[in-house]
């Protein structure tokens, strides 16, 4: 029997009811609260905030609940909400050297001023399923020195002081672009690229960064520093004329360093790739830093030979809200266009068959 | 911004969301059907030198992202009004403006100094609003081009006679060029760059 | 519904969430500044017919690819005086059309209709209605890929130059290769057109059957690509020519059948498979056109059949 695509309204309402029912699952099991997600699924919350481009842990947790744990869907929910928010102003640049550090490691030096701080990390866990988590349990108390409250200079700044590092772009006065306000045009400057990558899909960046390590692109990076912790956000309202702190956010930051053997005009030096995210998204910022470095190929006078170096390719396909929408739009009816192809296909076949028949006859 | 200056600013739109929509549709109508006149008289209460129709167009289209030019001799109260209600930065150089308001159509600046757009981005050109005395339909210059079924005729009072020659040149630079909105105190008519003029 | 432009600041716990209700959304969903930006882009698009104006497309509450470009245009154009029609594949009652119509009824209180002649604004995906449009109407198209040259050149930086310099040779070469290989141009929808003798434009994925309706149309046609962040337009009474060659002139689809329900021979027909035996029928893709014809007493060869009641979709 013909399955109607008509009667849409009722079908949609029903789909929403079914969805709500499945979301809740077995009602004998207590419903999960947004606060539980906020507390216990924090890395999911952080990813959703980062790619959703909105620092609001509670709304991100709500989005995760609503999306049944589908994080790309949750990112989408947060983005759609973000669009409707008015803009009160633009914050001052955050100072990550003033970060209240919870984790900080450098792979380029054995020890660094302020020390290596392992912090909460999966790194040295043995990936053995912990069956004690299946039952409710209290974590063991932590035995650790409380990290130094003094500001921790970035490792890269130490290299930079020696002149070994490309100079930072310190055009603090220049306006920073915003891809949510102006469409991306090519070639894209680094501020635009970094914003795009910061909002970009972790999986996509992970794969691209990985490809750049495997020889698709010429990149041999070191993890100069990875840090995670809390920084203050401040702004200077025009009517006040002085800086006020508006809150703290947790961020992850990664600086990769890559040797650059120089060109006709440039001495050999280290170049850097940068990654930053809301919350604790370490894998994301590392991948972002790799891709950021790859995308500097054009400015460094290199040939664009690998996908991770191709800014139009990377920036146009990094956004998972865009990508998931367009891939999934193929679910929508396309029968009008399909009909057009069907007509052509049939008439082409008919013509060819007729011709073959005629040819055969002639040959006979 | 000084408080006493703000106290003297006359009102903008009463219901921004709905008013903006209605005004936009009127502008849309004139831009897509050049030579068609629509009435925009009752929306804003600007200072005398700025026509209510001009003010309505500015309030609906201009904001902090669109630099505005009103010429060297733009009265202070007009500047304050537009800065306050639109939030647009006022620019002195013609080429920097997204929108320009020419308060007196008989006293035109060199229109070619406004941003004409570039071949890759012709949309970046300026939109120029020129205040004139009268617009009459059915006689005067002949207009043809996209948006016009056969031809339209308009006669504009209070507009420098060189304008039409300049606008012909503007059309010849397509896809570059300015888009013009002529405004009487209460009406507007639009001349996108596609309009061909026969005097 | 309140029309608040601001919203309260957020604390970092879950307690504030309850205060965030949908009545905080602005008229037409988008904030005024976003609408202004889109409106400016629409006006420039009209002034440069067929040229794609970049705009800072916003995330909408529906997925990219599902009409966010068209929805942003409608949100910026629609007012409470409008009568709004939404079609997808020519039909008013496909799920996506229903969903979009519902959204606008909610955020603008706009009146909706299924009758083409009654509508002042028509948002569409993949079709232009069969009934000729009028001077008072605005067509809004949902566009997935706005760039007509995308299939010959993937890079935006290159296609932009080609449009700037009017270098459209590759497009003609590609079409001609089709002819050399298949004896015809093998493009059946999204068939490129030249607008006002200057820009090559994609008419969105409408079947080429609909292309001639754009030429010298009394209505204004605006196209929105949300994901690709482009807006373009065909003003009323504008020359729109489908690309072709002297020895291979542009042709539209035709059917041997008529509409099984209303008997129309002049409308775009969808093929419907009726059962597992592969029995099929042809029906108008424009559901309003078909219903209207049947109301006027036109009946097709299968109109009397009872097992296709759902297809007939009598108007409520």
Q: Return d(Cα C208, Cα A102) in angstroms, integer.
A: 61
Whether chain B has a CB inside 8 Å of the CB on C25: the answer is: no
Q: Return d(Cα A284, Cα A200) in angstroms, integer.
A: 9
Q: What does the pLDDT average to over A53-70?
A: 97
Picking from B27, B33, B62, the nearest residue to C236 by CB comes out as B33
| Cis peptide bond prior to B175, omega within 30° of 0 | yes
| Cis peptide bond prior to A71, omega within 30° of 0 | no
3-state SS, residue C87:
strand
Structure tokens at A129: 């399923």
Interchain contact, A333 vs C88, CB within 8 Å: yes
Q: State the chains in contact with B (3 or more Cβ–Cβ pairs under 8 Å).
A: C
Considering only CA atoms, which of C87, C88, C129, C121 is closest in space to residue C266? Answer: C129
**What Rg do the C-alpha atoms of chain B give, in angstroms?**
16
Interchain contact, C36 vs B60, CB within 8 Å: yes
The alpha carbon of residue B1 is apart from the nearest alpha carbon of chain C, in Å, by 21
Whether chain B has a CB inside 8 Å of the CB on C49: the answer is: yes
Q: Provide, as residue numbers in chain C, all residues whose Cβ is less than 8 Å from the Cβ of B118.
A: 164
Structure tokens at C26: 């602005």
**For residue B168, is it within any domain?**
yes
Virtual CA dihedral for B177, B182, B188, B193, nearest 10 degrees? -20
Residues 6 or more apart whose Cβ sits within 8 Å of residue C45: B123, C51, C52, C53, C222, C231, C232, C233
Buried/exposed B154-170: b ≥16 CB within 10 Å, e otherwise: bebeebbeebbebbeeb
Picking from B61, B122, B192, the nearest residue to C46 by CB comes out as B192
The alpha carbon of residue A124 is apart from the nearest alpha carbon of chain C, in Å, by 31
- Helical ranges in A187-334 per DSSP H: 190-199, 202-213, 282-294, 311-317, 320-328
Contact status, residue A186 vs residue A311, Cβ threshold 8 Å: yes
Residue C180 confidence (pLDDT): 86
Residue A237 confidence (pLDDT): 82
- Listed by start position, the domains of chain A span 14-82, 96-121+144-167+176-313, 333-363
**Is the model more confident about A352 or about A254?**
A254
Residue listed under structure tokens 């809004």: C140
Residue C17 confidence (pLDDT): 57
Q: State the chains in contact with A (3 or more Cβ–Cβ pairs under 8 Å).
A: C
Contact status, residue C252 vs residue C212, Cβ threshold 8 Å: yes
* φ, ψ (nearest 5 deg) of residue B18: -75, -40
**Is the model more confident about A191 or about A164?**
A191
Question: Is C290 known to be catalytic?
Answer: yes
Interchain contact, C54 vs B121, CB within 8 Å: yes
Q: Pick the catalytic residue: C57, C259, C260, C300?
A: C259
Q: Return d(Cα A113, Cα A153) in angstroms, integer.
A: 8
3-state SS, residue A281:
coil
Output the CA torsion sign for C164, C169, C172, C178. Answer: negative
Interchain contact, C270 vs A185, CB within 8 Å: no
Best C10, C45, C59 member to test A by mutation, with max A CBs in 10 Å, is C59
Q: Provide, as residue numbers in chain B, all residues whose Cβ is less than 8 Å from the Cβ of C33.
A: 63, 65
Contact status, residue C136 vs residue C119, Cβ threshold 8 Å: no
Kindly give the interhelix angle for A71-82 and A42-52, rounded to the nearest 10 degrees: 50
Structure tokens at A11: 């079908």
Best A3, A8, A73, A75 member to test C by mutation, with max C CBs in 10 Å, is A8
Structure tokens at B172: 């010849």
pLDDT in tens, chain B (199 residues): 344 445 567 888 888 888 999 999 999 999 999 999 999 977 788 999 999 999 999 999 999 899 999 988 789 999 999 998 998 999 999 999 999 999 999 999 999 999 999 999 999 999 999 999 999 999 999 999 999 999 999 999 999 999 999 999 999 999 999 999 999 999 999 999 999 999 8
Interchain contact, C89 vs A333, CB within 8 Å: yes
Interchain contact, A329 vs C54, CB within 8 Å: no
Best A1, A4, A6 member to test C by mutation, with max C CBs in 10 Å, is A6
Distance, first Cα to last Cα, chain A:
46
Q: What does the pLDDT average to over A322-351?
A: 91
The alpha carbon of residue A263 is apart from the nearest alpha carbon of chain C, in Å, by 27
Q: Return d(Cα A209, Cα A211) in angstroms, integer.
A: 5
* pLDDT interval class at A112 (50, 70, 90): confident
The alpha carbon of residue A285 is apart from the nearest alpha carbon of chain C, in Å, by 23
Q: Provide, as residue numbers in chain B, all residues whose Cβ is less than 8 Å from the Cβ of C49.
A: 146, 194
Interchain contact, C17 vs A180, CB within 8 Å: no
Q: Return d(Cα C190, Cα C148) in angstroms, integer.
A: 8
Q: What is the DSSP string of C185-205?
A: ----BS--EEETTTEEE---S
Q: Pick the catalytic residue: C70, C90, C224, C290?
A: C290
**Nearest residue of C to residue A75, measured between CA atoms:** C59
Interchain contact, C188 vs A336, CB within 8 Å: no
Residues A67-93 have pLDDT tens digits of 999 999 999 999 999 988 877 788 999
Picking from B61, B62, B149, the nearest residue to C237 by CB comes out as B149
Beta bridge partners of C155: none
Virtual CA dihedral for A104, A107, A112, A115, nearest 10 degrees? 40
Kindly give the interhelix angle for A42-52 and A57-66, rounded to the nearest 10 degrees: 100
Segment (H or E) for C309: helix C309-312
* φ, ψ (nearest 5 deg) of residue A361: -60, -45
Contact status, residue B118 vs residue B88, Cβ threshold 8 Å: no
Residue B139 confidence (pLDDT): 94
Interchain contact, A312 vs C157, CB within 8 Å: yes
Question: Per the structure, how many domains does chain B have?
Answer: 1
Residue A286 confidence (pLDDT): 97
Structure tokens at A118: 């392992």
Residues C30-42 have pLDDT tens digits of 889 899 999 999 9
Contact status, residue C83 vs residue C113, Cβ threshold 8 Å: yes
Segment (H or E) for B21: helix B16-32
Q: What does the pLDDT average to over A151-164?
A: 80
Residue C14 confidence (pLDDT): 55
Residue B54 confidence (pLDDT): 97
* pLDDT interval class at A139 (50, 70, 90): confident
**For residue B183, is it within any domain?**
yes
Number of Cβ pairs < 8 A linking chain A and chain C: 186
Q: What is the DSSP string of A3-49?
A: --S--HHHHHHHHHHHHHHHHH--TTSPPPPHHHHHHHSHHHHHHHH
Residue A1 confidence (pLDDT): 28
Q: Return d(Cα C106, Cα C122) in angstroms, integer.
A: 17
Residue C182 confidence (pLDDT): 83
**For residue B62, is it within any domain?**
yes
Q: Provide, as residue numbers in chain A, all residues whose Cβ is less than 8 Å from the Cβ of C227.
A: 322, 325-326
Q: What does the pLDDT average to over A203-232?
A: 92
Domain that holds residue B12: 3-194
Q: What does the pLDDT average to over A241-262?
A: 91
Q: Pick the catalytic residue: C50, C57, C67, C70?
A: C50
Residues A24-40 have pLDDT tens digits of 999 999 999 999 999 99
Picking from A312, A326, A342, the nearest residue to C64 by CB comes out as A326
* ipTM entry: 0.95
Interchain contact, A340 vs C273, CB within 8 Å: no
Residue listed under structure tokens 């020895």: C247
Q: What is the 3-state secondary structure (H, E, C) of B53-108?
A: HHHHHHHHHCCCCCCEECCCCCCHHHHHHHHHHHCCCECCCHHHCCEEEECCCCCC
**Nearest residue of C to residue B180, measured between CA atoms:** C47
Burial of A139 (0-12, 13-18, 19+ CB in 10 A): exposed
Question: Is C284 known to be catalytic?
Answer: yes
Residues A183-195 have pLDDT tens digits of 899 999 999 999 9
**For residue B199, is it within any domain?**
no
Give pLDDT < 70 ranges for chain C. Answer: 1-25, 313-316
Residues C239-259 have pLDDT tens digits of 999 999 988 999 998 888 999
Looking at residue B179, which CATH number applies to its domain? Answer: 3.40.50.11310
| Number of Cβ within a 10 Å radius of residue A146 | 5
Question: Is C9 known to be catalytic?
Answer: no
């Amino acid at each position: 029997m013909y399955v109607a695509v008509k009667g849409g309204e009722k079908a949609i309402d029903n789909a929403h009811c079914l969805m709500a029912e499945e979301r809740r699952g077995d009602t004998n099991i207590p419903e999960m609260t947004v606060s539980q997600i906020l507390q216990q699924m924090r890395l999911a919350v952080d990813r959703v905030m980062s790619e959703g481009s909105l620092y609001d842990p509670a709304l991100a947790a709500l989005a995760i609940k609503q999306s049944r744990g589908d994080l790309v869907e949750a990112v989408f929910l947060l983005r759609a909400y973000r669009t409707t928010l008015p803009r009160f102003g633009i914050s001052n640049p955050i100072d990550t050297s003033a970060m209240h550090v919870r984790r900080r490691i450098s792979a380029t030096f054995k020890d660094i001023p302020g020390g290596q701080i392992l912090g909460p990390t999966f790194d040295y866990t043995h990936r053995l399923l912990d069956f004690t988590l299946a039952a409710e349990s209290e974590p063991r108390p932590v035995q650790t020195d409380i990290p130094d409250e003094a500001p921790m200079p970035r490792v890269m700044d130490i290299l930079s002081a020696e002149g070994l590092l490309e100079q930072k772009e310190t055009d603090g006065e220049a306006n920073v672009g915003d891809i949510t306000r102006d469409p991306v045009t090519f070639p894209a400057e680094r501020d635009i690229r970094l914003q795009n990558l910061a909002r970009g899909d972790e999986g996509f960046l992970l794969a691209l960064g990985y490809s750049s390590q495997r020889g698709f692109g010429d990149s041999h990076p070191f993890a100069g520093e990875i840090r995670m912790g809390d920084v203050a956000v401040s702004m200077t309202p025009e009517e006040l004329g002085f800086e006020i702190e508006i809150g703290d956010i947790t961020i992850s930051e990664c600086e990769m360093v890559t040797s650059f053997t120089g060109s006709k005009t440039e001495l050999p030096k280290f170049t850097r790739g940068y990654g930053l995210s809301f919350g604790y998204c370490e894998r994301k910022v590392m991948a972002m830093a790799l891709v950021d470095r790859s995308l500097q190929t054009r400015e460094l006078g290199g040939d664009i030979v690998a996908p991770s170096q191709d800014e139009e390719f990377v920036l146009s396909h990094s956004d998972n809200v865009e990508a998931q929408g367009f891939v999934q739009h193929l679910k929508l009816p396309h029968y009008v266009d399909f009909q057009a192809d069907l007509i052509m296909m049939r008439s082409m076949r008919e013509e060819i068959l007729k011709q073959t028949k005629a040819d055969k006859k002639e040959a006979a | 911004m000084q408080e006493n200056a703000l106290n003297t600013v006359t009102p903008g739109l009463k219901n921004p969301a709905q008013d903006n929509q209605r005004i936009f549709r009127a502008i849309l109508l004139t831009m897509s059907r050049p030579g068609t006149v629509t009435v925009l008289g009752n929306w804003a209460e600007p200072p005398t030198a700025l026509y209510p129709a001009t003010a309505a167009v500015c309030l609906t289209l201009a904001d902090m992202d669109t630099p505005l030019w009103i010429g060297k001799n733009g009265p202070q109260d007009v500047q304050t009004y537009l800065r306050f209600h639109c939030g647009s930065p006022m620019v002195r150089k013609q080429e920097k403006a997204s929108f320009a308001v020419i308060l007196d159509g008989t006293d035109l600046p060199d229109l070619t100094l406004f941003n004409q757009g570039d071949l890759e981005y012709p949309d970046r050109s300026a939109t120029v609003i020129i205040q004139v005395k009268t617009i009459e339909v059915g006689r005067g210059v002949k207009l043809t081009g996209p948006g016009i079924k056969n031809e339209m005729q308009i006669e504009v009072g209070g507009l420098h006679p060189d304008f039409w020659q300049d606008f012909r040149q503007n059309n010849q630079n397509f896809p570059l060029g300015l888009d013009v909105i002529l405004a009487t105190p209460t009406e507007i008519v639009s001349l996108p760059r596609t309009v061909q003029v026969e005097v | 519904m309140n029309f608040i432009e601001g919203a309260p600041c957020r604390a970092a716990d879950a307690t504030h969430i309850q205060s965030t209700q949908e009545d905080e959304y602005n008229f037409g969903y988008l904030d005024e500044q976003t609408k202004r930006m889109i409106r400016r882009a629409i006006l420039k698009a009209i002034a440069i017919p067929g040229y794609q104006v970049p705009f800072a497309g916003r995330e909408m509450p529906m997925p990219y690819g599902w009409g966010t470009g068209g929805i942003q245009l409608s949100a910026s154009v629609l007012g409470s005086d409008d009568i709004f029609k939404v079609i997808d594949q020519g039909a008013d009652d496909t799920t996506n059309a229903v969903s979009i119509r519902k959204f606008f009824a909610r955020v603008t209180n706009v009146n909706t209709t299924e009758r083409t002649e009654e509508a002042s604004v028509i948002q569409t995906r993949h079709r232009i209605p069969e009934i000729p449009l009028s001077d008072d109407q605005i067509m809004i198209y949902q566009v997935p890929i706005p760039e007509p040259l995308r299939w010959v050149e993937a890079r935006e930086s290159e296609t932009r130059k080609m449009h700037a310099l009017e270098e459209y040779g590759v497009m003609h070469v590609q079409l001609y290769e089709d002819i050399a290989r298949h004896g015809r141009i093998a493009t059946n929808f999204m068939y490129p057109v030249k607008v006002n003798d200057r820009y090559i434009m994609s008419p969105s994925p409408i079947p080429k059957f609909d292309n001639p309706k754009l030429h010298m149309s009394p209505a204004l046609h605006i196209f929105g690509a949300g994901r690709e962040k482009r807006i373009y337009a065909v003003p009323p009474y504008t020359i729109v020519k489908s690309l072709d060659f002297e020895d291979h002139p542009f042709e539209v689809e035709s059917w041997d059948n008529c509409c099984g329900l209303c008997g129309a021979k002049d409308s775009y027909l969808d093929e419907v498979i009726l059962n597992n035996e592969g029995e099929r029928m042809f029906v108008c893709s424009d559901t309003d056109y078909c219903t209207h014809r049947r109301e006027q007493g036109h009946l097709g060869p299968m109109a009397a059949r009872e097992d296709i009641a759902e297809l007939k979709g009598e108007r409520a």
